Amino acid sequence: MMSRFFITILLSLSIDSAICAPDTTPFPHPPSIKGLQVQMVDDALALGIHHAGININITGLYDARNLPENPKARVDGFEFSFQRSYLESLDRQIKPLSDQGVLIYLIVIVYPSKNPRIDSVVAHPMARPDHRYSVAGFNAATAEGRAWLKAVSQLIAERWSGANPSSGRVWGWIIGNEVNSHFMWSNMGKQPLSAAVENYAAAFRIIHQSVRLSSSHARLYVSFDHHWGQRMHGISSEEACSGREFLDTFAGLTKDLDWHVAWHPYPEDLGNPRAWMDQTVTSDDASNKITFKNLEVLCRHLRMPSLHYRGEPRRVILSEQGFQTLLQPDGEKLQAAAYAYAWEKCRRLPLVDAFIYHRHVDHAKEGGLRLGLWRNAPHSIVDPHSKKEIWSLMKKAGTSEWDAAASTYLPVTHLKSWEQLTTEKDLQK
């Protein structure tokens, strides 16, 4: 299949690979939903994961110096150069996992470089100039920004389509991060809901087209935080919106596209692992948040015919969520109990395809959160030190040892049986 736009790639890609027909391998169905945002490959494989989330910062792929050894592309009258060393570092993360059958989901994000030449192309032109945000919105607002998105997305979609065995394979493309809270995670300045969604949808279409040129069945996902019926507290309506509003508006603009949902069902209080005790969430569509306690609300919403694609509901992956380790004697037990609770909830929701845990190792600069399966070493940011109780429990998830291991945490959750968990069917009663 010939691309709708001509790309010349040097070094990493050949002309022939850029114009070949898309791979038609069906989307895989692993044995379980167990996943992790991976820091240590060998440890992740020892845990028996089947899904892995990996960030890709497309700002870091922009070579402003146009070094001769880097891959090049010419798109819609614009020329671009890509950082070969960064592409190869991602190969080293992706290939060892995909070679073992782990489904890789690349989280495509725009971290500001604070280099005006780069950011003027890659980041949304209305992103705050003071950089008081974490992630910028995609630049689908300028001709050069759209050309860049075409170029970079075709490059990475082809590289990890399975056509290049030395690079590994990606099956899921998570476009952006928590895009409904755009003041922090998709910054484009102050924008009303309609404008924020329109810009995101335009970028999504470009990336979707690039992925489809390389793979017929790789999946693309829209990323949300846990805010559902209400936007993040204390943030204006021009800088954040409810997940439900964003989802429904996006769906209205992209009825012709196949896409799915990447949800982050953190507890209502990220510092409290007791998801079963969330007090503010409800079981109706007006719930302020969707956490593990009421995850069925999202699944029920996606079954609305207006959100279907070709008669079928969109699928769900849980691409980022973790549980705090409280600094108290039972802190690790509570964290493990939260994992057991979340796993059992997912088992009862057929639309959920993956539960990708965050984090692998505690991170010293994550706002006081200690979400890891491992403790970080003293005086380090994220160097692994020792395993927590949750590590052993997660290893048993999806195996014959799970039921016995998980049942020991039932008393912690105040449930007598996991069958007491609310499901979609309960909402229909």
Amino acid at 398: G
Q: Check which CATH number belongs to the domain holding 256 and give it.
A: 3.20.20.80
Asked if 238 and 192 count as a contact pair (C-beta separation under 8 A), the reply is yes
In-domain check, residue 230: yes
In-domain check, residue 214: yes
pLDDT by 10s per residue, the chain, length 429: 323 333 333 333 333 334 578 999 999 999 999 999 999 999 999 999 999 999 999 999 999 999 999 999 999 999 999 999 999 999 999 999 999 999 999 999 999 999 999 999 999 999 999 999 999 999 999 999 999 999 999 999 999 999 999 999 999 999 999 999 999 999 999 999 999 999 999 999 999 999 999 999 999 999 999 999 999 999 999 999 999 999 999 999 999 999 999 999 999 999 999 999 999 999 999 999 999 999 999 999 999 999 999 999 999 999 999 999 999 999 999 999 999 999 999 999 999 999 999 999 999 999 999 999 999 999 999 999 999 999 999 999 999 999 999 999 999 999 999 999 999 888 875
In-domain check, residue 7: no
* Helical segments of 19-83, H only: 41-46
User: DSSP characters for 184-231?
Assistant: HHSB-SS--HHHHHHHHHHHHHHHHHHHHHHBSS-EEEEE--SB-SSP
In-domain check, residue 9: no
Q: Cα separation of 401 and 189, whole Å? A: 50
Domain span at 322: 15-427
pTM: 0.94
In-domain check, residue 327: yes
Residue 43 CB neighbour total at 10 angstroms: 18
In-domain check, residue 300: yes
Q: Which of left, alpha, beta for 276 (phi over 0: left; psi -120 to 50: alpha)?
A: alpha
In-domain check, residue 6: no
Domain count, the chain: 1
In-domain check, residue 68: yes
